[in-house]
Structure 1
Amino acid sequence: MSSELTSDSIKGFDEDLPVTHHNDVYSTIDPEPLYAAQSFSGKVVLVTGASRGIGRETALHYARAGASVAIVARTGDALDETRDIIVAAVPGADVLVLVADVRDVESVRGAVEGVLRHFGKLDILIANAGAITLFTPMLNKKDPNAWWNTFEVNIRGVFNSVSVALPALEKTQGYIVAITSLGGQLRVPGGSDGCISKHAVNRLVEFVALEHPSVRTFALAPGYLPTRIAAETGTLGSNGEGAAGVALNTLALPAATMLYLTSGRADWLSGRFCSANWDMAEVERDWKDLIVQKGGLLNKLYIPLP
């Protein structure tokens, strides 16, 4: 990780909710009661970017809670591995493997049509597929095509997935979770493609909630994770910590948070940004009224009063 990535060099690092922060699953979002009750039985969940990392862990969480899952990525072999892991952990799980590239709307359309043919409906979309380049200055350092590919995956891919899935999700009054990033609220040296594209994802979620209020839609930042993409892009330190020394999360934390968000317990957050690190009980107890009244957790200009 670049030595420039410190809490001083990252702009907006201190802009956060003053609630307890977690790096692993905690009581409010504990999925075990959902597993025991099979709370998502009868639900159909589509997860993009499911070949590894957050997507794989999330698909496994939903299967354990009783859902049927469709897993999507570009690499069939890796998806088969995800399916095998799920079926080994949840014997009898209904897992549909679909190879698709989220950058191609017709490829996504084919995947969604495959879900509807196989399962007959769609209840939850997890738009997780993401990309980012090595953290380097944008001028003279980043390959412009690689820089733009980040937008193709992060914003076009989310738009394609959401727009194609919306008719089915409106029929079930379902849920969308678009994986964003804390970086979407920050200005991180060398991270222009990731930060800008994820900022756009946050605004896209606001528009989906505005135009399709029957579908509850969230922008979820999963926090710093020990994923392959983090290692490849230089956002992990030599000791394995995240940027600016921030502690890493378990993959289970964002996955369990998604179960919480799509369980009906946090519908008031629809159309807003939230972080998997935040203690959701404290967010609701201490901040819900102010967030709702003042339009908080939305992208907007902030002008400090004198």
Structure 2
Amino acid sequence: MSIINGLDENLPVTHHHDVYPAISPEPLFAAQTYRGKVVLITGASRGIGAETATAYARAGASVAVVARWKGTLDESAAAIRSAVSEAQVLAVPADVRDAKAVHDAVQATLSRFGQIDIVIANAGTATKLSGTLDSKDPDDWWNTFEVNIRGVYNTFRASVMPLKTSKGYFIAISSVGAQLRVPGASDYCISKHAVNRLVEYIAIEHPSIKTFSLHPGEIYTQLQKDTRDVDDRSVKYDSPLLPAATMLYLTSGRVDWLNGRYLSANWDLEVIEKEMKEIIVTKGGLVNKLCIPF
């Protein structure tokens, strides 16, 4: 028996590890579907955030990229402009733990572009995958919550009014860890579980804003390298374009019925729509709840 609890808390659908036809972003790129839209992404200096910002820019959106370190953030913005020559990109350094800094980043975006239609709270962190929760440094352990929960809250709070105006979208990057109990990863799993509940509250209290918590798949990021002692490059990881394409799909208006729910980028969204929509809606599925199997 695995020492990781929750591995069976998944949907019985096809699991993808790269972009699949139903969510292919190519038609959106060709049609410039997001032209006239403004997207703000935190944690956008590298990895999933940078890949997602580039995808939205390729689809015609103006993008504001936010991260702590100006140097890497400027490199990310330059890479987006290199990939999309006409891209409108604003780089705003900010630490998501700082409510005023996030507020200022949102205001800078509004000043530059006049609106915000989509916000993706992607910034996240974790401690090393080791030890028990009582053996971890308490400040390091709590810092994970400062970034993963307070950072998402700060990002939503700062952007709620422009998103209500645009009737826009808010996506919080969660994790399959939200459904797991992994020894050595208490700070990460608990904080991501809380992210899912936060998204449920956004949906309840601000119904004009469509919101999702998204597991992006198993992507080989700097966070993976920083928190694991082994060299994981031998593992078959998912394509970073998978979560980016999934987010383009989620914010296209085609699956707004999934508002307020947890999703995995690995799940086949077309199959979910065709075969599971009725039971998910009627039973209130894909949200945190007490479930007693008997």
User: TM-score, normalised to structure 2's length?
Assistant: 0.98
Query: Letter of the aligned partner of 1:67 in structure 2?
Result: A
Does the residue aligned with 1:54 lie in a helix, a strand or coil? helix
Pair 238,252 (structure 1): closer, same or farther in 2 beyond 3 Å: closer
Asked if structure 2 preserves the Cα contact closer than 8 Å seen for 1:226 and 1:240, the reply is no
The aligned residue for residue 237 of structure 2 is 248
* Structure 2 counterpart of 1:186, from 180, 184, 192: 180
Q: What is the Cα deviation at residue 199 of structure 1?
A: 0.2
Give ranges in structure 1 of 5+ residues lacking alignment. Answer: 1-6, 242-246
The count of aligned residue pairs is: 294
Deviations 1:205-263 (A, max 9, x none): 0000000011000000012111111011118665532xxxxx42110000100000000
Deviations 1:92-131 (A, max 9, x none): 2100010001001000000000011000110000000000
Pair 139,173 (structure 1): closer, same or farther in 2 beyond 3 Å: closer
* Structure 1 counterpart of 2:48, from 43, 50, 54: 54
* Structure 2 counterpart of 1:15, from 4, 9, 34: 9
Pair 145,218 (structure 1): closer, same or farther in 2 beyond 3 Å: same
Pair 125,11 (structure 1): closer, same or farther in 2 beyond 3 Å: same
The aligned residue for residue 244 of structure 1 is none
Q: What is the Cα deviation at residue 142 of structure 1?
A: 1.3
* Structure 1 counterpart of 2:274, from 285, 289, 293: 285
Alignment of 1:111-126 (within 5 A): 111-126=105-120
Find runs of 4+ consecutive structure 1 residues off by over 6 angstroms.
none
Asked if structure 2 preserves the Cα contact closer than 8 Å seen for 1:230 and 1:236, the reply is no
Distance between the aligned counterparts of 1:93 and 1:120, measured in 2? 16
Give ranges in structure 2 of 5+ residues lacking alignment. Answer: none
Asked if structure 1 preserves the Cα contact closer than 8 Å seen for 2:225 and 2:232, the reply is no
Is 1:171 the counterpart of 2:160? The answer is: no
Alignment of 1:1-306 (within 5 A): 8-234=2-228, 238=232, 240-241=234-235, 247-305=236-294
Pair 255,8 (structure 1): closer, same or farther in 2 beyond 3 Å: same
Distance between the aligned counterparts of 2:35 and 2:44, measured in 1? 20
Does the residue aligned with 1:299 lie in a helix, a strand or coil? coil
Percentage of identical aligned residues:
57
Query: Letter of the aligned partner of 1:36 in structure 2?
Result: A
Distance between the aligned counterparts of 1:236 and 1:266, measured in 2? 38
User: TM-score, normalised to structure 1's length?
Assistant: 0.94
Q: What is the Cα deviation at residue 141 of structure 1?
A: 3.0
